[in-house]
Amino acid sequence: MKLGKDYSRGIEWRLSSWKSNQDPVPGEFIYEANTQGYPQFELKDRGVVKHRSGPWKIERFGGISFSNMILTFMINVVVTKNEVSYAYHIENNTSILSRLTLNASGNLVATVWQEQSKNWQVVFSYPRDICDGYSNCGGYGSCSAANMVTKSCACLDQYRFVPKDDDLSGGCVRRTPLACKNGLEAFINDLIDIRVIPVSGRDIFVKVASSEIGNSFLLGFAWRIDAIMVKR
């Protein structure tokens, strides 16, 4: 399975959903590479981003967790001036058939063929829960999924950020605005599309006012969460 773009040959590999499970007419969903900035993959509904993989880092995409998998997948990522692509295969087993599909409901589903039962077994599906949706909790808000359909939004830090509304779905704002000069305005853009993952989190650093830290040498602080960051 391969997704991405080949610039030298003008080829693009992407997934497109059917109109319905019985109608193969192209549907409303596509899954394709976004090569603006560091490459990542986006699930779109009629052109609107609904979920994104996050950029590739070391061994996985930042926005997708492969925990509790019944099989081990080997992933090959190519990022060059001629090609941006992602491909996978099952480790140490070339006899197992696998496929990745985008169904009519907008879900990415990976399956493997079970010869004994003569059917396709689902090994993972995305989005998995409500926090896999794009920017659920607004700027400087992190999403935590209590279950598949209930989300909990929180500001990254209650001392340095305050919610815009009661349920925090509109995101958070700084208690103390930054006063950046000399080209540092890029640091004041909101961070959006952040979710909490219980394990394998990463540190992110956010620039804050020095008056909120009490030490002029400390210009940021960190949270141990899994974050997908976008400037807005």
User: What DSSP character marks residue 191?
Assistant: B
- For residues 226 and 130, the model is more confident at 130
Instruction: Identify the band that residue 215 occupies on the pLDDT scale cut at 50, 70 and 90.
Output: very low
- Sequence-distant (6+) residues with CB within 8 A of 226 are 62, 63, 65, 195, 196, 197, 200, 201, 202
Asked if 77 and 56 count as a contact pair (C-beta separation under 8 A), the reply is yes
- For residues 154 and 73, the model is more confident at 154
Res 8: pLDDT: 93
pTM of the full predicted structure?
0.74
- Taken in order 135, 127, 78, 71, is the CA torsion positive or negative? positive
